[in-house]
Amino acid sequence: MASRNKKLVPECASALKQLKYEVAAELGVAFGNGGAAGADTEFAGELGSFSSSGGGSSYLGNLTAREAGAVGGGVTKRLVQQAQQTLL
């Protein structure tokens, strides 16, 4: 299913993805291989960037709604702070 969230500046996609992983790492949200019990998990800051062909998986369905919301809220908070600093 295609994402309905279209970026105003498509070139910012990789920067937003990196910001998402940085916030997740700060919150201690573990990303893993589907959330199976005993699966090796890595913290977001150690994962680097994902590509659809190769290495890691970008599947994040193992996150709880609380974790996903915390990451999204953290990203929004950072973006607002950056905008405020730019305007000052």
**What single DSSP character describes residue 11?**
G
Count how many Cα atoms sit within 13 Å of the Cα of residue 50 in the half-sphere of its side chain.
17
Q: What are the beta bridge partners of residue 30?
A: 43
From the list 30, 8, 31, the residue with the least C-alpha distance to 79 is: 8
Percent of the chain at pLDDT exceeding 90 = 30
Q: What is the pLDDT, as a whole number, of residue 9?
A: 87
Q: 10 falls in which pLDDT band (50, 70, 90)?
A: confident
Please give the share of the chain, as a percent, with pLDDT higher than 70. 65
Six-digit token string for 9? 């500046």
**Mode of pairing for the β-strands spanning 41-43 and 30-32:** antiparallel
Whether the per-residue pLDDT at 17 is higher than 70: the answer is: yes
- Tallying the residues shown for the chain, one arrives at 88
Over residues 67-84, the mean pLDDT reads 93
Q: Tell me, what's the pLDDT at 88?
A: 81
